[in-house]
Amino acid sequence: MASVNYFWRHTLPIQSSPLPKYNSHLKRRRLTNFLSLNIKCQTRLEDSIQVGKDRLQKVPILNIRNFSIIAHIDHGKSTLADKLLQMTGTVEIREMKDQFLDNMDLERERGITIKLQAARMRYMYKNKPYCLNLIDTPGHVDFSYEVSRSLAACEGALLVVDASQGVEAQTLANVYLALENNLEIIPVLNKIDLPGSDPARVANEIEEVVGLDCSNAIHCSAKEGIGILEILDAIVEKVPPPQDTAERPFRALIFDSYYDPYRGVIVYFRVIDGTVKKGDRILFMASRKDYFADEIGVLSPNQMQVDELYAGEVGYISASIRSVADARVGDTITHYSRKAEASLPGYKEATPMVFCGLFPVEADQFPDFRDALEKLQLNDAALKFEPESSSAMGFGFRCGFLGLLHMEIVQERLEREYNLTLITTAPSVVYRVNCVNGDTVECSNPSLLPEAGQRGSIEEPLVKIEMLTPKDYIGPLMELSQDRRGEFKEMKYIAENRASLIYELPLAEMVGDFFDQMKSRSKGYASLEYSFIG
C-alpha cells in the first residue's frame, strides 16, 4: 500500500492548487466530486498494480490484445511505454528507470529505439483480466521492414503525436504501414502539459492528413501520467482480439531475434495459428532449418518460462540456434512433423542499400576488427561485409548497411563495444551494370565496374522522398531537391501553414549531406521520409 501511495504522489500529480474553501454550497459539491473521482482513480490504480503482478495466468483468446506504438522520433513513445508498464504493475517502482525498454546506451543517448522489445501486461477492466501485449517498433526509416513485421504481429496501434509539433514524416509512413496491415488505430495526443501544445490544431491535422476520426482522440501527458488509464481502457475496448485458430497447424511470425552468447539465438514471435509446447521440434520455413524448442516463454518485459503458448500470444523461443540467419525477421515457424501448408506473407531478406569501407587505424587491430564484425553480424542479419584492401589505409572491410543511421550505429557499436578505432570512407550505393552480352553486374565499388566496351547501360537506385515543412521553407527545399537531380512529383498543403513535398531522386544524392542541408535550410523544422522505389 505504501508503494502505491508513493507511486500516486510521484507519477500522477493531482491539481497543485490549494483546495477550495467551504464558503458556498457549489464549492463544497465540487470538492466532493473531485475527491470521489480521485479515490476511484486511486482504487483502480491499486487494483491494476495488484493484478499486474500475476502475468503468467492464462486468459481466454477474447481477452488478449496485441498492439504497438507508432510515433515520430522524440514524440514520447518510450516515455508512454514506461508509464504503461508502471500503471499495470508490470515493472516494480524500485526497478523502474527512464526508457525502460531501450536497453542500449546508444538508444538512451540518442532518444531513439534501435532494437525493438516486447512486453506482456495484465490489466483489469470491468472486473475481467486482460492480457495486453505491447510489441515495440524501431523509430527510424532504415528499419521500416522490422516495423512492418511488428505491425503484422498486432491487431491495433497507438498513434502518438506530439501536441506541440504536429504530424511528422515518419509518423505518416508508419501510419500507412499500419493501415496496410488493417490495424485499428487509436490517436493519442501527447505532451499536452507543454505550454506550446495545441491539441485542437494537431487533431485537425491528423484528420486532414491521415483521414482518422480524432473527435475521441485521447489527450495525455506520458511524463506527468495524465490520461494513461484512458489509453489502457481504449486498448481493451477498441483493439480487436486475435482470431481463435488454436486448432490449425502451428504457425508463428518472427518479429525479432538476437544472439545470446550462452543460449544461442533467442527468437521473439507471435503465434498466429495453433499451439507450441516446450520440447516440440520446430521448423523455420524460409531457412529450412529445424531445432528442438528447449525453452519457451513470455516477455514481461523480462523472460518468464511457460510450458505452452497458443494462438494470439506473444513470446520467445530458445533452441540452441547458432546463427541469426537461420531465424530471420519475418520468417514463419511451424511444427516439423505437422507442417503448415503455406508460410505467412511479407517475408523478404534485408538488402543493404548503402556501402562504405571501414578500416582500423592501427594495422594490428585487423584480426580483432574481423572478430568484432562477425560477432555483430550474429545480432544483426542485415549487416553484410567483405574484405577490402586500400593502398592508403591497408586492410579493412567493405560493409553494406540498410541506411545512414544503420551505418552510424554499427560504427559506433564497433568502437564502443570492441574498443576499436576506425576510419570510414564516404558512403556509396550499388549500381547495376547491364553488359553487352546480357549479363548484369552489381557494383558497390568503382573498381568492380566492367571494361567500357562491355557496358551496355548503368542503372542507379532511386528513392521517393517526402518532406513535411512549414510553408516558409518550401522554396529553399525545392531548390535543394532540384540541385540534387530530384524530379518533382507532388506538393500538397496538409494544413494551413504546412506542406508536403514529394520528389524522386537518386539514392547516391541522399547518402551525402542531403539530410543536414534540409535541416539547415528549414532551420530544423522540416522532417523527411524516404522509400526505395527501384
Beta bridge partners of residue 397, listed in sequence order: 358, 387
Contacts of 283 (CB under 8 A, 6+ apart): 289, 290, 333, 334, 335, 336, 339
Report the alpha-carbon distance of residue 254 to residue 328 in Å, rounded: 7
For residue 90, which of 139, 138, 56, 40 has the smallest C-alpha distance? 56
Instruction: State mean pLDDT over 423-429.
Output: 83
445 is an annotated ligand-binding site residue: no
137 is an annotated ligand-binding site residue: yes
Contacts of 400 (CB under 8 A, 6+ apart): 352, 353, 354, 355, 383, 384, 385, 444
Give per-residue pLDDT as tens, 76-91. Answer: 777 888 888 887 777 6
Q: Hey, what amino acid is at 273?
A: D
78 is an annotated ligand-binding site residue: yes
**Grid cell at residue 249:** 497447424
345 is an annotated ligand-binding site residue: no
330 is an annotated ligand-binding site residue: no
Beta bridge partners of residue 505, listed in sequence order: 463
Query: Of all helices (H) and strands (E), which one includes residue 229?
Result: helix 228-238
> Is residue 5 scored above 50 in pLDDT?
no
Specify the pLDDT at position 464: 86
Chain position carrying cell 549531406: 513
138 is an annotated ligand-binding site residue: yes
Specify the pLDDT at position 55: 58
Counting Cα atoms < 13 Å in the Cβ hemisphere of 208 gives: 16
Angle of CA points 105, 109, 114, to nearest 5°: 65
> Is residue 20 scored above 50 in pLDDT?
no
76 is an annotated ligand-binding site residue: yes
CB atoms within 10 A of CB 75: 28
128 is an annotated ligand-binding site residue: no
> Is residue 157 scored above 80 in pLDDT?
yes
Instruction: State mean pLDDT over 90-112.
Output: 58
Instruction: State mean pLDDT over 5-29.
Output: 46
Specify the pLDDT at position 101: 52
For residue 150, which of 231, 309, 256 has the smallest C-alpha distance? 256
**Grid cell at residue 196:** 506550446
Contacts of 195 (CB under 8 A, 6+ apart): none
Specify the pLDDT at position 26: 54
Q: Which residue has the higher pLDDT, 411 or 353?
A: 411
Q: Hey, what amino acid is at 14?
A: I
For residue 271, which of 333, 321, 178 has the smallest C-alpha distance? 333
Q: What is the pTM of this model?
A: 0.74
Least confident residue range of 236-240, 287-291, 342-346, 419-423: 342-346
Contacts of 128 (CB under 8 A, 6+ apart): 63
71 is an annotated ligand-binding site residue: yes
The dihedral through the CA atoms of 200, 204, 206, 207 has a sign that is: positive
For residue 502, which of 520, 516, 487 has the smallest C-alpha distance? 487
Q: Which spans in 53-143 are helix H?
A: 77-87, 105-110
> Is residue 9 scored above 70 in pLDDT?
no
Instruction: State mean pLDDT over 128-152.
Output: 77
Q: What is the distance of C-alpha 408 from the center of its chain?
A: 18
Q: Hey, what amino acid is at 165?
A: Q
Residues in the chain: 534
73 is an annotated ligand-binding site residue: yes
Give per-residue pLDDT as tens, 163-207. Answer: 888 777 777 777 878 888 888 888 888 888 888 888 888 888 888
The dihedral through the CA atoms of 138, 287, 253, 281 has a sign that is: negative
Contacts of 376 (CB under 8 A, 6+ apart): 383, 410, 413, 414
Contacts of 233 (CB under 8 A, 6+ apart): 125
Specify the pLDDT at position 49: 54
Pairing assessment for the beta strands 64-70 and 128-135 based on DSSP bridges: parallel
Confidence of residue 75 (pLDDT cuts 50, 70, 90): confident
Instruction: Tell me the C-alpha to C-alpha distance, in Å, between residue 443 and each of 330, 347, 399, 450, 532.
Output: 28, 25, 13, 9, 18
357 is an annotated ligand-binding site residue: no
Average pLDDT, the chain: 78
Q: Hey, what amino acid is at 345?
A: P
Task: Give the end-to-end CA distance of the chain in Å, rounded to a whole number.
Answer: 59
428 is an annotated ligand-binding site residue: no
Confidence of residue 406 (pLDDT cuts 50, 70, 90): confident
The dihedral through the CA atoms of 89, 95, 99, 100 has a sign that is: negative
Specify the pLDDT at position 2: 45
Confidence of residue 472 (pLDDT cuts 50, 70, 90): confident
Chain position carrying cell 524530379: 487
Q: What percent of the chain has pLDDT over 70?
A: 83
77 is an annotated ligand-binding site residue: yes
CA dihedral of residues 390, 394, 395, 399 (deg, nearest 10): -50
Confidence of residue 339 (pLDDT cuts 50, 70, 90): confident
> Is residue 223 scored above 70 in pLDDT?
yes
For residue 325, which of 346, 349, 293 has the smallest C-alpha distance? 349
Give per-residue pLDDT as tens, 482-514. Answer: 888 888 888 888 777 778 888 888 888 877 777
Specify the pLDDT at position 96: 57
Instruction: State mean pLDDT over 97-117.
Output: 58
380 is an annotated ligand-binding site residue: no
Instruction: State mean pLDDT over 265-281.
Output: 87
Cα Rg, the chain, nearest whole Å: 25
Q: What percent of the chain has pLDDT over 90?
A: 0
> Is residue 50 scored above 70 in pLDDT?
no
75 is an annotated ligand-binding site residue: yes
Q: Hey, what amino acid is at 178?
A: A
For residue 271, which of 260, 262, 282, 263 has the smallest C-alpha distance? 282
Report the alpha-carbon distance of residue 216 to residue 415 in Å, rounded: 48
| Burial (Cβ within 10 Å: 0-12, 13-18, ≥19) of residue 95 | exposed
Beta bridge partners of residue 442, listed in sequence order: 432
483 is an annotated ligand-binding site residue: no
Chain position carrying cell 516558409: 472
Give per-residue pLDDT as tens, 237-271. Answer: 888 988 888 788 888 888 888 788 888 888 888 88
Beta bridge partners of residue 269, listed in sequence order: 254, 315
